[in-house]
Amino acid sequence: EERPSGLITAVTLAWETGLGRSERVARTPRDYPIVSVTFWQLQNGAVRLAGTGMQERPCRLTTAEAKLVDGLTPEAIAQAGQAAQSAATHPGDFRGDAAYRAEMTAVLIQRVCK
């Protein structure tokens, strides 16, 4: 397999028009986030959620997104938080154990969706 030589110096992403919000939990404001969740709502009402710290790598929270298809009602937001909490698989580390990370995922989804 031949790989191109060189250094990647920039990545450009096309953003669809919408509204977004991001929340994180860290030990201090300048520390790396233990868990973070980013919310993006497109103009057509579709919701996108992504997060870090609840799985081994940054991920899209599709199970939580599915709970928000019919709107951002308090019940739907609570269900999205529970779905993301159930899907959390990070084993934990010195910053936070698995249960803490899963719980904070649900809390952050509540915050970003309001």
User: What pTM did the predictor assign?
Assistant: 0.84
Q: Count Cβ atoms below 10 Å from residue 33 Cβ, excluding itself.
A: 18
Half-sphere exposure of 88 (CA within 13 A, CB side): 29
What domains sit in the chain, N to C, each tagged with a CATH number? 18-113 (3.30.390.50)
- Which of 74, 75, 77 lies closest to 37 in space, CA to CA? 77
Tell me which residues of the chain have a pLDDT lower than 70: 1
Res 42: pLDDT? 93
pLDDT score for 23 = 97
CB 105 within 8 A of CB 54: yes
Q: What is the pLDDT of residue 54?
A: 95
